[in-house]
Amino acid sequence: MQASDYLRMKFQSDRHLAEVAQRGFITVVESMPGVLVDIYSGFERASWYSSCLFPKYNEVCRELSDEEVRSFNAIQSIFEYNDVIAHMIFLYLKSVSDDIKEGSENGSALKLTRNMAGLAAHMNISGGTRYAFAASASVALSRTGFMSKIAAERALPRMSWSIFAIQFFGIQQHCALAARHLKTISPEYYQILYDAKLEMLYYFVEPILNEMIQRVKSRDFLNLDELTDFMQRKYGV
């Protein structure tokens, strides 16, 4: 199952979520301790709303409310794109492709583009070789087992309905904090996602893009071939 499919499962409907979340709370906590992190984050975010009781924290309260609205918009976007994960990665790689040199004619970047051309065709990308590479690489990354594993771990519900709302609130907290972190480390990419109403979904691609963002900022890749080689070594695209 592709990473974006897990997100659709997460947010599709209450009935579907109920079917997925049949296991009891105790069993889930024993088998997947990570659920406790979501619960803690849910309570943490709820506690932050106490700031709304004090006028001097109006800015904090407004930021939280804005994030809730942005989260709703992001959930809507999951169903508007054929593969929202691939699209988010594409938006980043497109910006990177504008700033570094193309690879050689027989290099790994062009080979990846050729191999993924059919799968990336649905993205209807214009802009020449660079953007074709961005489209192909984004589809390749979104379909890796690594990406699917991350999406499954971070998106699928893991508990009974008695505290599902708390976990959901916790996931919103993870999303908000990841978006804030992205705004710090890459304001340009944050703005691109913000304009596309997708920045609150960065949490789901953070494990695959965070190191890439840092290394691109450090100018570790001289051309698209070197970037492709890194993706192949790290994620097996």
Q: Using one digit for the tens of pLDDT, what is the confidence trace for 62-112? A: 888 888 888 888 888 888 888 899 999 999 999 998 888 887 878 899 899
Report the amino acid identity of residue 119: L
Residue 212: name the closest of 160, 161, 152, 141 by CA: 141
Q: What is the DSSP string of 166-182?
A: HHHHHHHHHHHHHHHHH
Per-residue model confidence (pLDDT) at position 15: 43
Q: Which residue has the higher pLDDT, 175 or 121?
A: 175
Half-sphere exposure of 178 (CA within 13 A, CB side): 23
- 3 state DSSP class of 62: helix
- Enclosing domain of residue 79: 3-235
Highest mean pLDDT among 40-44, 60-64, 133-137: 133-137
d(CA 89, CA 213): 11
Per-residue model confidence (pLDDT) at position 78: 84
Tell me how many domains the chain contains.
1
The string of pLDDT tens digits covering residues 155-202 is: 655 545 445 556 676 778 888 999 999 999 999 999 999 999 999 999
Residue 204: name the closest of 1, 2, 7 by CA: 7
